[in-house]
Chain A
């Protein structure tokens, strides 16, 4: 869902449509990866992110803004062989 803090200003702001782990999300324009993680209640550690099949370094989470049509993948380590 849209981060609540910003969604109140939706009327005067444009939105972007992105997919996050295959799910469609509508986000306020200018949403950074850091803000997306907070909105999803995800910690910034123990995960890694790719946008449009390019890895985004952790250090860039707070500067990387999402654009319309972006495909975001947020991953973690799970049990496997």
Chain B
């Protein structure tokens, strides 16, 4: 396939599918799903360590950092201040300048808080981070994040973990048309067709977690998502046919058997 690799900041990603590490039935299933997805970037969250049970393997023992670029997130943060500290701790822990900025404004919808996200993005860019903000599918917010200096914008397709698909394809298309940084659809993808639809809109990548992890067979779904992202990307690059209201026959309408001359 004749395509340029995805570049986010100084990072080059061979795969346009970014996947999470949450909600898998086991670390082993997660590892196999990552493999099947063909991904080159995986997300992790940052939390307090348990002081009661500090021993044992950590998530990082199950992630091959020679294969996957780690994208830490600020999930669970509700203010810019919390998100900035979480990002700085993630940078110290993982020795990366990458951060998936997520500042949540509502506990039930998990919709981002745009005001706090913009404030955190400003501070993190100033601090030298490569910032990938999760944001509403709002072209204005996305433009502002680009102006701040974010490396990509990641509008939601639908609420996190909802699996509702790309609820507003028109706003995603507008965001992509106007952005000059990569657009990653983050959240909402429930099945392969959702991923294909996102990619057919022309976005640069898709980030998903629950869509794979909560499938009956996460490893097979990971493979399906890989194919869907590739298929959607190729369809976008190929350029789809125009839509028409009436039929247009694929076979010749002349020299039909039994026709009179």
| Contact status A81-B43, CB under 8 Å | yes
* In the complex, residue of chain A having the shortest beta-carbon distance to the beta carbon of B47: A78
Known: A41-B54, A77-B72, A81-B73. A55 touches B88 (CB 8 A): yes
Most buried by A among B22, B46, B72, B161: B46
Take A21-B48, A77-B59, A81-B75 as given contacts and tell me if A40 and B89 are in contact as well, using a CB distance cutoff of 8 Å. Answer: no
Complex interface: chain A residues within 8 A of B72 (CB)? 77
Q: Select the residue from A22, A50, A73, A77 with max chain B CB neighbours within 10 A.
A: A77
Interface size class of B (residues with CB under 8 A): 35 or more
Q: Mark B93-125, 1 if CB is under 8 A from A, else 0.
A: 110000000000000000000000000000000
Q: Which residue on chain A has the smallest CB distance to residue B43?
A: A81
Q: In the bound complex, do residue A80 and residue B48 qualify as a contact, i.e. CB atoms below 8 Å apart? A: no
Are B93 and A78 touching (Cβ within 8 A)?
no
Chain A to chain B: the 6 pairs with minimum beta-carbon distance, closest first: A80-B45, A81-B209, A81-B20, A48-B93, A48-B92, A79-B21
Query: Please, could you name 19 A-B residue pairs with CB atoms under 8 Å apart, sorted by A?
Result: A20-B51, A21-B48, A41-B55, A46-B93, A47-B49, A47-B93, A53-B81, A53-B85, A55-B88, A73-B85, A76-B49, A77-B45, A80-B21, A80-B43, A80-B45, A80-B73, A81-B22, A81-B161, A81-B208
| 14 further A-B pairs in the complex, CB-CB below 8 A; given A58-B92, A77-B90, A81-B23 | A21-B51, A41-B54, A49-B89, A53-B81, A73-B48, A74-B48, A75-B48, A77-B45, A78-B46, A79-B21, A79-B24, A79-B44, A81-B209, A81-B210
